[in-house]
Amino acid sequence: MQEYGEGEALAPLRVGVAGLGNVGATLVRILQKDGADLKRKLGRQLEVVAVAARSRSRDRGIDISGLQWFDDPVALAKSDGIDLFVELIGGEDGPAFAAVKAALEIGRPVVTANKALLAKHGVALAKLAEESGTQLGFEAAVAGGIPVIKTLREGLGSARIAKVFGIMNGTCNYILTRMGNEDISFADCLKDAQALGYAEADPTFDVEGFDTAHKLSILSTLCFGYEIAPEKIRVEGISRITQQDIRVAADLGYKIKLLGIAQRTEHGIEQRVHPTFVPRGSAIAGVDGVMNAVALETDHVHELLLAGPGAGGPPTASSVLSDMLDIARGTKVPPLGVPSAELMPYVEAPMRAHEGGYYIRFNAKDVPGALASIATRMSEHSISIDSVIQRSDLNAKTVAADGSATRTVVMITQQTLESSVRETLAQIAADGFIVGEPQVIRIEAL
Amino acid sequence: MQEYGEGEALAPLRVGVAGLGNVGATLVRILQKDGADLKRKLGRQLEVVAVAARSRSRDRGIDISGLQWFDDPVALAKSDGIDLFVELIGGEDGPAFAAVKAALEIGRPVVTANKALLAKHGVALAKLAEESGTQLGFEAAVAGGIPVIKTLREGLGSARIAKVFGIMNGTCNYILTRMGNEDISFADCLKDAQALGYAEADPTFDVEGFDTAHKLSILSTLCFGYEIAPEKIRVEGISRITQQDIRVAADLGYKIKLLGIAQRTEHGIEQRVHPTFVPRGSAIAGVDGVMNAVALETDHVHELLLAGPGAGGPPTASSVLSDMLDIARGTKVPPLGVPSAELMPYVEAPMRAHEGGYYIRFNAKDVPGALASIATRMSEHSISIDSVIQRSDLNAKTVAADGSATRTVVMITQQTLESSVRETLAQIAADGFIVGEPQVIRIEAL
C-alpha cells in the first residue's frame, strides 16, 4: 500500500477493461487524455494496458492499438499483466460474473458498474473480496454519476439511516416529466424516449420498475446492513399511469415520480418501488427529466439529497474512475459497508402493513348510489377521506359492460393501512358499481 | 494499517476531544451510545478516552467522569494516551491552531470542524500532515452534515470541475427565506434569527458573507488545486437587501440567495460571495431555511447537487465521525485532494472581468429626463437591457436632497461585463439624476 508524501514514484497501476461500450470507451478516453492530471493528484500513473470486448475492429473513437487484446474477459481478469480489473460488460451472470469472480479469487481488485450483478451476487462477491483481502468498487452501479455508494458507505459517519428513497431510473423520470409538462400519453412519451435513446427497444425492465428495484436493493443493504434481496421488493411500474392521474396530481399540488423507497419499520425493512405522489414543493419533485436523485433521512443528519445525472458515458465513467482512484490509493472498506459476515438476513416488512396516504381513481358506473356505496365501504374500514374529486372533465371514455356511462371518481385518503385499502377495494369491486381495476397510487409526505 | 477480514480484533482507537460545545458533546454522546454499532461496522472500537474544555463542571448532558481531563488542549493533543485528536474549539489561531499543529507534528491524525483554521492555515497544516505521514480530516468544516469534502476529494474521479457554488450559511438563508415568504425587513428577520439561535449577537461574520467566503476558499482549493486564499474573495453580504428587491425578484421569476461561487475563467479562478438572483425553478432555489447546498458543474458529471443541514450538533458530529471512521480504517488521502506541493499559487480572475446579468435598482429623481439619461448611459456602454420596471407601487420613500420625490427604477441587463456596469454607474451618479447608491445584484443563469 502506498503512502502519499513518500517522495518516491510508485509503479503505474495497470488496468484491464472488459467491455468497451459507451462507458468503457469513455473511461479509456479519459485515462488516455487526463492521465497526467491524475498522476499529479495520485502520485501514480493509472494506465489501461489491456481490454476485452466482443468486436476488435469496431470504431469506438479511441485508439486501442497499443493495448493487449483479450477475446475472453475471464482470461483478462486473470492475466498477470494487470493490477486492477474493470468489468463493464453487464448482465447478472455469464461472462461478467465469471470474470469478476476470477479476479477476486486471485486477490485482484475489481471495479464494476453492473447493478444486476451486484443485486444477484453482491453478498457472495463482497465475501470473496474480503477473504482475498482485496477491493470491490461499484459506485457506478447506482445512480450513474452521483457518488451515493461512497456517501452511504463512508460519508455519513455513524448516522443511523431511517429511510432512503430516490429517483433511480432516467427512462421513467423522462417519461413522467414529459407527461406532466406536455399532457402526452405514456405510449407516446415512451416512443419519443426510444427515439432519443433514453429507452430500450424492450422497455419492460425500466418502465416496470425492475431496474429501480435492483438499485434499491443495493442501497438498502448499505443503509440497513441486511442482505441484498431484490426479489423481495414490491414492484409496480409506470405503464398504467394516465394523463388523468397526472392532471389530478397537479391539481392537488403533487407530481408523480417513480420512487424506490426502503425504510425501517417496526415490522422490518419495507422496500418498495412504485409511482408515487410527491408534494410539488419538495426537493425530489424538482428532479426532472433524465436526472436521478437519492434522498436519505437519518437520525443525525436529518435529510440529505444528492441529485445528478443517473446515466451517460461520462458521468458513469467518472464514478468508475473514483473507485479506481480509491484502489490506487490503497483505501480499503468492506464493499457493503460492514463485513459481509455481519450482514443480517433480510427481514421483510409485509406490504400489507404499509401505512400512508392513497390516491384511488375509480371508473364508477353513472347510476344512483355508486358514490354512496364506495364511500360507505371506505367508512366501514375506517378509511378517512381527505378529498373527493368528481368532475365531468375528468370522466374517462369507458363504458360499463351493460352499455351505461361511467364517471371518474378520485379519492385521496388520509394515513391508512395498505391491508385496509386492499380489502375495501375488493368489496367495492364485488358491489358492482365500478368498471375495471381502480388506479391506486401511494402518497409520500416527504 | 488494519485490514478488514483478518479475523482478529484490533486495539481500540483512543480518541481525545478538545472542545465540548454542542458538536463536541454530541460527538461524545454518539460514541458512547452507538459504540457497539460502530465496532460492528469497523471491526474496531472507537473510544473517547480524554477531553479538554474550558469548564470541567458545566452540565453538558454527557458523563465525562470516566475520561481523562486536560485543561490545556495542546497537552491533550500531545498526550501518549490517545491515537486520534479531534479539535472542536474553533477560531483561526490560538489554542485550536496550536493543538492541531502539535498533534500533526508528532504524526498523530487530526479531525477538525474548524473552517476558519482551515481557511487560514489549511495549506501549512496539510503539508505538515503529509510530512508526518498522517491524516487531517475536515468534512465538518464546510456545510455541516453534507459530505461535500469527501465528494470533491474522492467521489468525482477525474471529473474536471468548471464551477462550484452553494448556499453555505444557514443564517443568511434563513433570513432571505423569511424575507421572501413573509415580506419582513432584513432587520426584523435578523432579530428573529437571533432569538431562535440561528444568528450570533454580532451577526457581521455571517450576514456580511465572510463565513461563506471561508468555506468557499476551502471548496475552491479542492476543486481547482489552487492554494487557499479567502482574503482574495470578493465578498458582499445581505444586509442591504430590501423587501423591494425580494418582491421584484419574485415578480421576475427569481429568488435571492447568498451564494459562494468559484469558477474557472480564461483569466484564472473567479471567487465571489454575494446575494444572487437564481431562477425560481432551479434546484438551488428550492434550498430554503437553514438548509445548505453545494452544486458542482463538471466536464464528466454535468451538474451535481448536494443538499442537507449545514449546521447543528448531530449533523456536524456525524461528519466529524465520518472522518474518524476513515482514519480508523487507515484511509489516506492528501488533505487538500492533491499533495500540497502540487498546489498552485492562486491566480485571481479580476472581478471587473466577470460577465453576467445584473439587477440594478435606482432611486431616480422624479424629474423629466431621469430615465432617458440612465438609459442613454447604459446604451453608451453597450449594455443591453432585458427589462425595465418602473411602477408606482415600487417607489421608495426616499426624497432627494433638494426635497423632490424619487421613483424606483429597476433594470435587468443581459450578459455584460462587471467593468462596464461599474463605469456606467459612476457616470450615472455623476449625472445627478439618482439619489444614493444603486442596488446591484448579480444574476446567475444556472
| Per-residue pLDDT, B3 | 46
What is the CATH number for A245?
3.30.360.10
Residue among B147, B300, B338 minimizing CB distance to A156: B147
A362, A429: one domain: yes
Higher model confidence: residue A402 or residue B304? B304
| Per-residue pLDDT, B134 | 97
Chosen from A111, A148, A152, A154 to mutate, greatest number of chain B CBs within 10 A: A154
pLDDT band at B325 (very low <50, low <70, confident <90, very high): very high
Instruction: List beta partners, residue A163.
Output: A263, A297
B230, B180: one domain: yes
Least confident of B152-166, B228-242, B316-330: B152-166
Contact list in A for residue B344 (CB cut-off 8 A) is: none
Query: Is residue A121 over pLDDT 60?
Result: yes
B136, B219: one domain: no
Number of domains in chain B: 3
The overall average pLDDT reported for chain A is: 92
Determine whether B78 is an active site residue: no
Q: Does A107 reach chain B within 8 Å, measured CB to CB?
A: no
Contact list in B for residue A337 (CB cut-off 8 A) is: 41
B290, B176: one domain: yes
A229, A185: one domain: yes
Q: Does A145 reach chain B within 8 Å, measured CB to CB?
A: yes
Contact list in A for residue B333 (CB cut-off 8 A) is: 4, 329, 331
pLDDT tens digits for B377-416? 999 999 999 999 988 877 766 666 677 788 999 999 999 9
Least Cα separation, residue A220 to chain B (angstroms)? 16
* CB-based contact A339 B37, cutoff 8 Å: no
Least Cα separation, residue B285 to chain A (angstroms)? 10
What is the CATH number for B375?
3.30.70.260
**Domain presence at residue B240:** yes
B158, B305: one domain: yes
Q: Does B157 reach chain A within 8 Å, measured CB to CB?
A: yes
* CB-based contact A4 B334, cutoff 8 Å: yes
Chosen from B158, B288, B306, B326 to mutate, greatest number of chain A CBs within 10 A: B158
Question: Percentage of chain B surpassing pLDDT 90?
Answer: 78
Q: Which of A79, A114, A141 is the last residue of a domain?
A: A141
Q: Which of B89, B121, B141 is the last residue of a domain?
A: B141
| Per-residue pLDDT, B233 | 95
The residue in chain A having the minimum alpha-carbon distance to the alpha carbon of residue B152 is A147
Nearest to B288 by CA among A281, A418, A37, A257: A281
Query: Is residue A204 over pLDDT 50?
Result: yes
B107, B159: one domain: no
**Domain presence at residue B337:** no
**Domain presence at residue B50:** yes
B273, B422: one domain: no
Is B325 in a helix, a strand, or coil? Answer: helix
pLDDT band at B6 (very low <50, low <70, confident <90, very high): very low
* CB-based contact B342 A41, cutoff 8 Å: yes
From residue A264, how far is each of A200, A350, A356, B411 by CA, in Å? 34, 12, 14, 52
Mean pLDDT of B336-352: 91
Question: Percentage of chain A surpassing pLDDT 90?
Answer: 78
Residue among B130, B160, B325 minimizing CB distance to A4: B130
B395, B261: one domain: no
| Per-residue pLDDT, A3 | 46
pLDDT band at A301 (very low <50, low <70, confident <90, very high): low
**Domain presence at residue A80:** yes
A125, A26: one domain: yes
Residue among A40, A154, A302 minimizing CB distance to B315: A302
pLDDT tens digits for A252-288? 999 999 999 999 999 899 999 999 999 987 888 889 9
Mean pLDDT of A189-215: 94
| Per-residue pLDDT, B5 | 43
Least confident of A168-172, B12-16, B73-77, B404-408: B404-408
Contact B276, B166 (CB under 8 A): no
**Domain presence at residue A342:** no
In the 3-class helix/strand/coil scheme, how is chain A assigned residue by residue? CCCCCCCCCCCCEEEEEECCCHHHHHHHHHHHHHHHHHHHHHCCCEEEEEEECCCCCCCCCCCCCCCEEECCHHHHHHCCCCCEEEECCCCCCHHHHHHHHHHHHCCCCEEECCHHHHHHHHHHHHHHHHHCCCCEECHHHCCCCCCHHHHHHHHCCCCCEEEEEEECCHHHHHHHHHHHHHCCCHHHHHHHHHHCCCCCCCCHHHHCCHHHHHHHHHHHHHHHCECCCHHHCEECCCCCCCHHHHHHHHHCCEEEEEEEEEEEECCEEEEEEEEEEEECCCCHHHCCCCEEEEEEEECCCEEEEEEEECCCHHHHHHHHHHHHHHHHHCCCCCCCCCCHHHCECCCECCHHHCEEEEEEEEEEECCCCHHHHHHHHHHHCCCCEEEEECCHHHCCCCECCCCCEEEEEEEEECCEEHHHHHHHHHHHHHHCCECCCCEEEEECCC
For chains A and B, what is the number of CB pairs under 8 angstroms?
A: 200
| Per-residue pLDDT, B208 | 97
The overall average pLDDT reported for chain B is: 92
Residue among A41, A312, A314 minimizing CB distance to B337: A41
pLDDT tens digits for B34-56? 888 888 878 889 999 999 999 99
Q: Which of A119, A141, A163 is the last residue of a domain?
A: A141
Mean pLDDT of B242-265: 95
The residue in chain A having the minimum alpha-carbon distance to the alpha carbon of residue B324 is A157
**Domain presence at residue A340:** no
Annotated catalytic residue, options B215, B255, B257, B365:
B215
pLDDT tens digits for A24-80? 999 999 999 988 888 887 888 999 999 999 999 899 999 999 999 999 999 999 999
**Domain presence at residue A97:** yes
Strands A110-112 and A268-279: unpaired
Annotated catalytic residue, options A215, A255, A257, A365:
A215
* CB-based contact B154 A150, cutoff 8 Å: yes
| Per-residue pLDDT, A24 | 96
Query: Is residue A382 over pLDDT 90?
Result: yes
Chosen from B301, B324, B327, B344 to mutate, greatest number of chain A CBs within 10 A: B301
Mean pLDDT of B332-352: 91
* CB-based contact A147 B130, cutoff 8 Å: no
The Cα A42–Cα B153 span in angstroms is 11
A88, A107: one domain: yes
B156, B301: one domain: yes
**Domain presence at residue B340:** no
Query: Is residue B4 over pLDDT 50?
Result: no
| Per-residue pLDDT, B396 | 66
Mean pLDDT of B5-30: 86
What is the CATH number for A34?
3.40.50.720
**Structural domain of residue B433, as residue ranges?**
353-443
Least confident of A31-35, B69-73, B238-242: A31-35
* Segment 303-342 of chain A within 8 Å of chain B by CB: 303-309, 312, 314-315, 317-326, 329-334, 337-339, 342
pLDDT tens digits for B139-172? 999 998 899 999 999 888 777 899 999 999 999 9
Query: Is residue B301 over pLDDT 90?
Result: no
